[in-house]
Structure 1
Amino acid sequence: MTTLSSTALTGVNAAQTQLNVSAHNIANVNTPRFKRQEVTLIAQTQGGVQTSVESADMTGSALASDVVTQLQAKHAFLANLAVFKTHDRVAGALLDQSA
């Protein structure tokens, strides 16, 4: 069984991969014959997510798509960070002997 923290960590890592790939795509938007990269998220049976990065089939940019991906990745990162903070707060409350 996968722990809550390790599941959230896979989400943080997936969001970071999405940010890196979209930044790479945006940085190369004016590069001739550039093939942008795309991230595929794959749900794991035990919980969490895995990423796969592949080159797009066609050359050219998709600037709007990459900007939206950055925003989605930012929100996914923040959501998984909230899981870590909540888990830490709950664990602290369980271990607090003074309450």
Structure 2
Amino acid sequence: MASILSIASSGLQAAQLRMDASAHNVANMNTPGFRRHAVSQEAVAEGAGVRATVQRQPQEGVALEQEAVEQMSATYAFKANLQTLKTQDAMMGSLLDIRA
């Protein structure tokens, strides 16, 4: 069974990759022939978090509103995974208080 730390860590890394890809798309949106990058996520076996990969989309062009939504979604993913880490820290602290 995977630890909460590894699950939250992989989620934070995936959210960072999504933010990076979206920023790359916005920075290059006026480049002729540019094809946007999208991040796909899949669950890792044994419940050890997620695996994220960047893929180039087949169609050209970038929609700014789509990138804004992607960046907001990545921000919420950061917050959710951070809350998971904070909860694990609190649980470990409580467990240590009980054992001490």
- TM-score bracket relative to the smaller structure: over 0.9
Gaps (5+ residues) in structure 2? none
Letter in 2 for 1:59: E
In the aligned structure 1, how far is the partner of 2:95 from the partner of 2:70? 37
Q: Is residue 37 from structure 1 mapped to residue 28 from structure 2 by the alignment?
A: no
The structure in which a higher percent of residues are helix is: 2
TM-score normalized with structure 2 length: 0.92
State the superposition RMSD in angstroms: 1.5
Q: Secondary structure at 2:45's aligned position in 1?
A: coil
**% identity of equivalent residues:** 43
Structure 1 CA distance for aligned equivalents of residues 46 and 90 of structure 2: 24
The aligned residue for residue 53 of structure 2 is 52
The residue number in structure 2 matching 1:69 is: 70
Residue type of the alignment partner of 2:21: V
TM-score normalized with structure 1 length: 0.93
- AA matched with 2:95: L
Q: Which runs of 4+ in 1 moved over 2 A?
A: none
